[in-house]
Structure 1
Amino acid sequence: MRHYLTTDLDQILASARERRPNGHINRFKPYLQQRFLGGATNAAALFREIRERGYRGSRVVVTKYIATLRAGTATLEPPQPIPSPRRITTWIMRHPDTLTDSQREQLDRILAACPELATARDLAHEFSTIARERRGHELTGWMTRALDQGPQPVQGFAAFLQNDWDAFVNGLTLPWSSGAVEGQVTRIKLIKRRSYGRASFALLRTLVLAEPP
């Protein structure tokens, strides 16, 4: 009772919010430490940044924590190991809803530290949507953004699309594909390999016609 009688209402409310899963500041401390050491010392600005990253706690809690960083009394969180490029690529290419909270947090920190990678992620997701939903008519706008804003590998991919532009647009628009033809080619190659490559054309033709697809 003495605690509630002698504590300001704002601090009590902030403490209650801090106990909520989405309001817990601990998982945002590494990001705040990184930004603080990088020269961002404004508590209000840092509060807005972590709000955009999912923090639902009080601004008072953030202000107090930044004050401990200024005073040098904060317990610094140990740096987390940097994921491998292959793992980062996997997280980028997967749908965000399939990532765990830990994976999403790590990816958010990486993208915040590397805006160029964040741009590549956005362009990759946009291209994936165009391909999956057959929005070939949107490919021109995507290519323009990729050439203007994308990192060098993305720009190279966008420039490569121009080599056979009509084919790419049609492939991402029309419902038809060469999948059936490619399947038959694979089947014929399999039959040929079973003969160790020594069958004559006449025998190969007979085997292909005799074996049902």
Structure 2
Amino acid sequence: MREALQRLLDRLRPVLNALLPTTFSAKPTEIPVLRHRPHSPAAETIRQAGTQQRKALHAKIQHLQNQKLPIRTIAHELGKSPTTIYKYLAMSEFPQKIVRKHLTSILDPYQDYLNQRWHEGCRNARQLWREIQQRGYPGAYRQVSRWVYERRPTPAPTTPRKYLQEDSYGELELNSTKPSLAEPGLPVARRLVWLFLLPVEKLDQEEVKLRQSLLKHAVLQQDCQLVHDFQHMLHKREAHQFTDWLQACQASNIPELVNLALGMKKDQEAIQTAPSSEWSNGQTEGQVNRLKLLKRQMYGRAGFDLLTARFLRPP
């Protein structure tokens, strides 16, 4: 179910990007980020090489698919799994790097104070660090130093030469990369899919807004409704509705759901029996989880005799 919805999100990505909500502007008192610390040359080379390899793989898969080759043949020729081939085929275009949303920082409770002191003219990272320490800041100086570095318009007089570079006019500036000004794009499908699988009350305000915007797409809305119907059917143990649900999936004309329904129809009897049966493999899965936990706790520190004693001992 999750994989079918994920493939649909990959296929609809170009259209869904147009439905993204308008981003909120920064607060008037918030200091804008002017730069980011640059990647090392080696790390940047590796990152770009990986991107080019994935782009080339995407182009090869699309080219072979246009030649009407079977999925297994494409997978064998490229040395990839069929799952990878299906994933790339679901992408009508190679996904561009997105601007990640702000993650929670240990500095967040002190942002207002830092912005206030910045407007008052304080540019000394160590001084700011001492002041917020008195207000309960538990973090290290490095976090505050990075905050100042990203917002400083000009280098400090004490900045070492190795951290400076010349601009196009020959003036010295901080060695950095400019922040991306592109609009935030959609998260990757494997993360985006949870917006539609989790209950709304488990999403934050920004995720709810994104979910509502994307559900304006009729196909995605229809798909999510069928997914929720299946979840409801399992939770309420209403196995008698499974046949009707399969027919609704096939009538939806959504390729991902049609293929899912065809696969489920082969195991229809087992799927219908599972919700109504008192038996499950929960006990087996619990024992497997216990054995794995014990093994990992004792890895490299226990011999076979001790492992045997712990594994075979009654819980």
TM-score normalized by the length of structure 2 = 0.35
Higher helix share: 1
